A and B are shown apart, each in its own frame.
Chain A
């Protein structure tokens, strides 16, 4: 928090939001779900269903599969809400990671059906889309931070993040594709993600520490 005197001598404080002005706390609803409150699950769906469905659809690229992933996600939330720990994770991240596991399953199953993943070129791009004027009013700060942070990554870092986040392959697959040993692939992914994290923490502004 910064504190200074304003032009009229008044005391002014500015709070450090740590680049997370809109970190969402869904722990209260998740706590109710853990106590088998079905109404809370319904509320959670109305609150985050749009975002989670959008994320699943964007990644798996198939409406039916995305709906299935969304359904399974909320069923898992229902079953596992008792495991959610607000000290260890944001509620939205926790739900998104459940969805991510389900989407990964979908994509890895698809991949097994073909010797080569044919849809690799269709992998989601790492750019914040033009939403045609439709903005997410509740996560707009996140979107803004991500947009700025992604612009600060160089081409190699951006591609590494894209692969790490959206390619259903393992690090071994990525290492093979990049023509590097597994250890090098781990370093590459870690460094790119670390830079991304630091940029996001700073609101996407400036060079990371």
Chain B
């Protein structure tokens, strides 16, 4: 393989060979393994750079509808809520989550794998030693997981089995964070929740960044219920509720149909699940709606629904390979007047780290180990956007904190606290905490 061949392979991979260039039809560029490898590596580098230099924007949902229509597939079904769940990723957060999902300690009843931290020693580059004791065929996969998820988890489990003891050393450790006195999630709930929080955080951030230009909703509610005074939009307008309180519909005076739709008689709003799985869509009831199908809680048989958690909660996922701890905390309230938020942690060597979180339209912060850091930005305050078209207020209570602690050194304890901006002797308030 000559250098000229490699240069041609690079140019061909980037599709910049001029018309008539002999290399365009050179069969060696299609057959020689080394030249093919040259082209592959060039394409990968090009894709990586292109990805990294492009500001993130949310993809328009109408393109998906158009694609599905063009391939003659049924458009995204309203009844099926399909969240973005790329379980088989191997990157950053995703890698941590994926492995955590499989190695998450199971409940005593169904558990078949124990994750045992034998010794947590952290100095310089030393990785923690974590041992997995297998007592069965592997992590239990819940029956209620849908088929696709089961398949993906099975595939993942196979991959982990192949990794043998390597997986032991690369497995991240997961610490759950909860509010003092808060109800802890079961491992099953927690492993589902951690992924939902992550994907939701990015999606919200992207939509906030994009100004959600393609969302037809005049009002977007992240959590909670409609503010006082909000009425049903006229002229076909809709309201989106991204975390519709299905478990507490009675508390809001709603009626429910057997199809899982809801009716708010006070505001004359009918709530249907969003076709794209982004919560519920509320619209003004019309004469075409059969309101007799909606019933009160007393008339509706009790059906177990997923609990909507409104307390702050979070996870610290530590990856021994990268020596990073990834932290995600959801449902974080905005700081009270005159107060500010800090995260604090202690590593295995007893070194304390601290970051002050500044309120901003952001969902990411980076810190470095040692001393007090102030490199944070997060979305604790509700973000409000004025729609340029409708003049209506779009509210996104994007209250998720996502941050990375490089060189984390084996986090032993972690907490998010609220302290006075000006020290006044009052004790700090713990929002969430956790510890190994």
Tell whether, in the assembled complex, residue A137 and residue B126 are in contact, meaning their CB atoms are under 8 Å apart: no
B14-68 with Cβ < 8 A to chain A: 14-19, 21, 36, 40-60, 62-64, 66-68
A154-209 with Cβ < 8 A to chain B: 161, 164-165, 169-174, 182-183, 186-187, 189-190, 193-194, 196-197, 200
Tell whether, in the assembled complex, residue B60 and residue A53 are in contact, meaning their CB atoms are under 8 Å apart: yes
Instruction: Choose one: A8, A25, A78, A196; the contact of B90 (CB below 8 Å).
Output: A25
Please measure, in the bound complex, the distance between the C-alpha atom of A152 and the C-alpha atom of B44, giving whole angstroms.
Answer: 18
B212 at the interface (CB under 8 A from A): no
Which chain B positions have C-beta within 8 A of A92?
A: 47, 51
Please measure, in the bound complex, the distance between the C-alpha atom of A133 and the C-alpha atom of B402, giving whole angstroms.
Answer: 10
Please measure, in the bound complex, the distance between the C-alpha atom of A43 and the C-alpha atom of B63, giving whole angstroms.
Answer: 13
Tell whether, in the assembled complex, residue A25 and residue B84 are in contact, meaning their CB atoms are under 8 Å apart: no
B176 at the interface (CB under 8 A from A): no
Tell whether, in the assembled complex, residue A137 and residue B402 are in contact, meaning their CB atoms are under 8 Å apart: yes
Stretch at the interface among B91-99, B254-262, B307-315, B329-337: B91-99
Known: A22-B91, A22-B94, A138-B202. A51 touches B11 (CB 8 A): no
Question: How does the 8 Å CB contact mask read for B60-91 relative to A, with 1 for contact and 0 for none?
Answer: 10111011101101101000001111101111
Using C-beta atoms within 8 Å of the partner chain, give the interface range for chain A.
Answer: 35 or more
Tell whether, in the assembled complex, residue B43 and residue A38 are in contact, meaning their CB atoms are under 8 Å apart: no
A57 at the interface (CB under 8 A from B): yes
Tell whether, in the assembled complex, residue A126 and residue B53 are in contact, meaning their CB atoms are under 8 Å apart: yes
Question: How does the 8 Å CB contact mask read for B353-379 relative to A, with 1 for contact and 0 for none?
Answer: 000000011111000000000000111
B206 at the interface (CB under 8 A from A): yes
Tell whether, in the assembled complex, residue A49 and residue B63 are in contact, meaning their CB atoms are under 8 Å apart: yes
Tell whether, in the assembled complex, residue A42 and residue B82 are in contact, meaning their CB atoms are under 8 Å apart: yes
Known: A137-B202, A197-B41. A190 touches B50 (CB 8 A): no
Please measure, in the bound complex, the distance between the C-alpha atom of A141 and the C-alpha atom of B92, giving whole angstroms.
Answer: 6
A71-101 with Cβ < 8 A to chain B: 71, 74-75, 78, 88-90, 92-93, 96-97, 100-101
Please measure, in the bound complex, the distance between the C-alpha atom of A107 and the C-alpha atom of B63, giving whole angstroms.
Answer: 20
Kindly report which residue of chain B lies nearest to residue A128, judged by CB atoms.
Answer: B52
B201 at the interface (CB under 8 A from A): yes
Known: A45-B64, A182-B18. A190 touches B84 (CB 8 A): no
Known: A134-B364, A190-B10. A128 touches B127 (CB 8 A): no
B184 at the interface (CB under 8 A from A): no
B321 at the interface (CB under 8 A from A): yes
Instruction: Choose one: B56, B93, B129, B152; the contact of A50 (CB below 8 Å).
Output: B56
Instruction: Choose one: A26, A88, A127, A133; the contact of B361 (CB below 8 Å).
Output: A133
Question: How does the 8 Å CB contact mask read for B99-133 relative to A, with 1 for contact and 0 for none?
Answer: 00000000000000000000101010111010000
Which chain A positions have C-beta within 8 A of B15?
A: 100-101, 104
Which residue, of A15, A17, A174, has the highest number of chain B Cβ atoms within 10 A?
A: A15
Please measure, in the bound complex, the distance between the C-alpha atom of A147 and the C-alpha atom of B52, giving whole angstroms.
Answer: 8
Tell whether, in the assembled complex, residue A23 and residue B90 are in contact, meaning their CB atoms are under 8 Å apart: yes
Which chain A positions have C-beta within 8 A of B58?
A: 50, 53
Tell whether, in the assembled complex, residue A135 and residue B63 are in contact, meaning their CB atoms are under 8 Å apart: no
Please measure, in the bound complex, the distance between the C-alpha atom of A103 and the C-alpha atom of B58, giving whole angstroms.
Answer: 18
Please measure, in the bound complex, the distance between the C-alpha atom of A187 and the C-alpha atom of B155, giving whole angstroms.
Answer: 44
Tell whether, in the assembled complex, residue B89 and residue A24 are in contact, meaning their CB atoms are under 8 Å apart: yes
Tell whether, in the assembled complex, residue A134 and residue B48 are in contact, meaning their CB atoms are under 8 Å apart: no
Instruction: Choose one: B42, B68, B93, B169; the contact of A13 (CB below 8 Å).
Output: B169
Please measure, in the bound complex, the distance between the C-alpha atom of A124 and the C-alpha atom of B36, giving whole angstroms.
Answer: 28
Instruction: Choose one: B46, B63, B92; the contact of A165 (CB below 8 Å).
Output: B46
Q: How many residues of B contact A (CB 8 A)?
A: 91
Tell whether, in the assembled complex, residue A54 and residue B169 are in contact, meaning their CB atoms are under 8 Å apart: no
A11 at the interface (CB under 8 A from B): yes
Please measure, in the bound complex, the distance between the C-alpha atom of A174 and the C-alpha atom of B42, giving whole angstroms.
Answer: 18
Known: A50-B58, A129-B55, A170-B19. A42 touches B40 (CB 8 A): no
Nearest Cβ distance between residue B375 and chain A, in whole angstroms? 11
Known: A21-B322, A139-B91, A170-B17. A12 touches B127 (CB 8 A): yes
Instruction: Choose one: A75, A141, A142; the contact of B71 (CB below 8 Å).
Output: A75
Which chain B positions have C-beta within 8 A of A93?
A: 40, 43-44, 47
B209 at the interface (CB under 8 A from A): yes
Please measure, in the bound complex, the distance between the C-alpha atom of A186 and the C-alpha atom of B8, giving whole angstroms.
Answer: 7
B130-189 with Cβ < 8 A to chain A: 148, 152, 155, 166, 169-170
B295 at the interface (CB under 8 A from A): no
A118 at the interface (CB under 8 A from B): no
Chain B residues within CB distance 8 Å of chain A = 3-4, 6-8, 10-11, 14-19, 21, 36, 40-60, 62-64, 66-68, 70-71, 73-74, 76, 82-86, 88-95, 119, 121, 123, 125-127, 129, 148, 152, 155, 166, 169-170, 198, 201-202, 205-206, 208-209, 321-322, 360-364, 377-379, 402
Closest 9 CB pairs of A and B: A133-B362, A22-B91, A38-B73, A49-B59, A146-B52, A172-B18, A58-B54, A96-B47, A53-B59
> Besides the contacts A139-B92, A143-B51, A170-B17, what 9 more A-B pairs have beta carbons closer than 8 Å?
A21-B321, A42-B64, A46-B82, A53-B60, A124-B54, A131-B209, A136-B51, A164-B14, A186-B7
Chain A residues within CB distance 8 Å of chain B = 6-8, 10-15, 17, 21-26, 28, 38-39, 41-43, 45-47, 49-55, 57-59, 67, 70-71, 74-75, 78, 88-90, 92-93, 96-97, 100-101, 104, 124-129, 131-143, 145-147, 150, 161, 164-165, 169-174, 182-183, 186-187, 189-190, 193-194, 196-197, 200
Q: List 6 A-B contacts (CB under 8 A).
A: A42-B73, A42-B76, A50-B57, A127-B53, A174-B16, A190-B10
